Copies of this chain bind each other. A is one copy, B any other.
Amino acid sequence: MYIPTFDDMMAAHERVKPYIHRTPVLTSSFLNELTGAQLFFKCENFQKAAAFKVRGASNAVFGLSDEEAKKGVCTHSSGNHALSLSYAAGRRGIPCNVVMPRTAPQAKKDAVKGYGGIITECEPSTSSREEVFAQVHAKTGGNFVHPYNDPRVIAGQGTCSRELIEQTDGLDMVVAPIGGGGMISGTCLTLSTLAPETQVIAAEPEQADDAYRSFKAGHIIADDAPVTVADGLKVPLKDLTWHFVSNHVTDILTASEDEIIAAMKLTWIRMKIVMEASSAVPLATILKNKDRFAGKRVGVIITGGNVDLDLLPWLN
């Protein structure tokens, strides 16, 4: 198992810069007052493909040799990695095959197709996903870019925290959602060198709290098909992301479905930005644990903005 290094992250940043946005950091005096903290929202919902995952996907795609690139890339993903990889492959002009759960939001499926990705559907469980993917991979021979358990992807995701640290004047903590752990791992990778005093807090839905239970147990616990409104956070940790979570994460906090939806709606109302439910989990945990964050300078990573506007969770 190759553990990506700080230098890998720096090389990734140079490699992906032409294909990604340096996204803005927004603040909200209302949310600062409400939480008692100073919050700095890193808005990856404004990223290309509306997701931070374009960082890691672009690093993998543009790191391939011309020979490797010929057969294209392939992956399985609950959504944003699929469309990010499709975007990056499209920019390089190589094929991209993706296995997606048939239950993934239509907006994400449409976006994948819009970028030229080829979708094969599976059932919404880890086991079905892996089975269908093995078939697609064997057939196409494309380079497998795992959505998070891949050193190229983690090094790419780490570029987000590098920008965040440059855009703020020092942070006490960074809070990011945790699903498979790619963003959290990249955050740990970057901050452990660039800002070793900055705590990394992972935020997870109660209904998909496998990372929380893994963290407490000291080994990976994986659930097969958790149900949560935060559809980007259903996948389990893997060995590479577990390395970063177990060694560098300060704590994992959880929030209920109602808390996540309320934090999502509050952000739309007060900050006037469209973001996914997964991106609301950090704010939900901050609102639930105000004492812990009060008086601190807190980076919050808004991971993506791919929402089905016809199926908003507060209207169900």
For A268, list chain B residues within 8 Å (CB): 274, 309
Contact A272 to B274, CB < 8 A, known contacts A312-B312, A314-B309, A314-B310 = yes
Mark contacts of A256-277 with chain B using CB atoms, 8 A cut-off: 1 yes-contact digit, 0 otherwise. 0000000001001100111100
Using CB atoms, name the residue of chain B closest to A43. Answer: B272
Do residues A269 and B45 form an inter-chain contact, with CB atoms below 8 A? no
Q: How many copies does the complex hold?
A: 2
A272 touches which of B45, B265, B310, B312 (Cβ 8 Å): B45
For A269, list chain B residues within 8 Å (CB): 107, 274, 309
Contact A272 to B314, CB < 8 A, known contacts A24-B24, A309-B265 = no
Output the least CB separation between A41 and chain B (Å): 12
Query: Please, how many residues of chain A have a CB less than 8 angstroms from a CB on the other chain?
Result: 18
For A50, list chain B residues within 8 Å (CB): 272
Output the least CB separation between A54 and chain B (Å): 14
Mark contacts of A261-304 with chain B using CB atoms, 8 A cut-off: 1 yes-contact digit, 0 otherwise. 00001001100111100000000000000000000000000000
A273 touches which of B272, B309, B314 (Cβ 8 Å): B272
For A312, list chain B residues within 8 Å (CB): 309, 312
> In residues 214-265 of chain A, which contact B (Cβ within 8 Å)?
265
Per the bound structure, the CA–CA distance linking A50 and B30 in Å amounts to 12
For A310, list chain B residues within 8 Å (CB): 314-315
A186 within 8 A of B: no
Per the bound structure, the CA–CA distance linking A305 and B310 in Å amounts to 19
Output the least CB separation between A1 and chain B (Å): 36
Do residues B305 and A272 form an inter-chain contact, with CB atoms below 8 A? yes
Per the bound structure, the CA–CA distance linking A275 and B272 in Å amounts to 7
Output the least CB separation between A246 and chain B (Å): 34
A133 within 8 A of B: no
Per the bound structure, the CA–CA distance linking A305 and B312 in Å amounts to 18
A46 within 8 A of B: yes
For A24, list chain B residues within 8 Å (CB): 24
Using CB atoms, name the residue of chain B closest to A30. Answer: B114
Subset of 13 A-B contacts with CB under 8 Å: A50-B272, A107-B269, A268-B274, A268-B309, A269-B274, A272-B274, A272-B305, A273-B274, A274-B274, A309-B314, A310-B314, A310-B315, A312-B312
Residues of A within 8 A of B (CB): 24, 45-46, 50, 107, 265, 268-269, 272-275, 305, 309-310, 312, 314-315
